[in-house]
Amino acid sequence: MQPARAYIGIGSNLGDPIYQVRQAFSRLGDMLSSCCVARSALYRSAPVGGPPDQPDYINAVAALDTGLTPGQLLAVLQAFELAQGRCRTVRWGPRTLDLDLLLYDQLVTDEPRLTLPHPRLHERAFVLYPLYDIAPDLIIPGQGSLRELRANCPQHGLIRLDSDD
């Protein structure tokens, strides 16, 4: 079986967010049946939705070649979140780690536990800009080219961090 290309959105705004995102990169790189083939720069962004007065987020995107099914990959990502102290108490609230399965090849699915592509991927600068770093020619099923989506999505305070931030 050919591995699938999956894109994972990574975010954190608690517990030293830069460290949390780097830990996520490390965990993704060590995952069984998978290989991390690319990772974006880190970006700082204001929180979207959720309670006011949250700290800014650090965001990134990783590309994996994986032999896991989408459901298996989602379960591993949620286990990583828990291992890094994620508590799911407030929707869109602050968190030590948020791992979103953004895309899994060109699969389109809408199930109770998993929607692919991620339902808000095409409208969020903190996903589009880091995703563009690693896959500028990507086509998002049902949405079009990443290049066009990014061009039509203002940065709204999104700041690309230097590589050693």
Catalytic residue among 27, 44, 98, 124: 98
Residue 50 tokens, joined: 């959720």
Whole-angstrom distance, CA of residue 140 vs CA of residue 132: 12
8 within some domain: yes
Check which CATH number belongs to the domain holding 60 and give it. Answer: 3.30.70.560
Q: What's the whole-model pTM score?
A: 0.93
Domain that holds residue 75: 4-160
165 within some domain: no
Kindly give the confidence (pLDDT) of every residue in the chain, 165 residues in length, as a single tens digit, with 9 standing for 90 and above. 689 999 999 999 999 999 999 999 999 999 989 999 999 999 999 988 777 788 999 999 999 999 999 999 999 999 999 888 766 665 666 888 999 999 999 999 999 999 999 999 999 999 999 999 999 999 999 999 999 999 999 998 999 997 654
SS3 8: strand
Q: E strands, the chain, where?
A: 4-12, 34-39, 43-45, 57-66, 98-104, 109-110, 115-116, 139-140, 144-145, 159-160
98 within some domain: yes
Q: Is 98 a catalytic residue?
A: yes
Our count of domains for the chain comes to 1
Whole-angstrom distance, CA of residue 144 vs CA of residue 74: 24
Q: Is 86 a catalytic residue?
A: yes
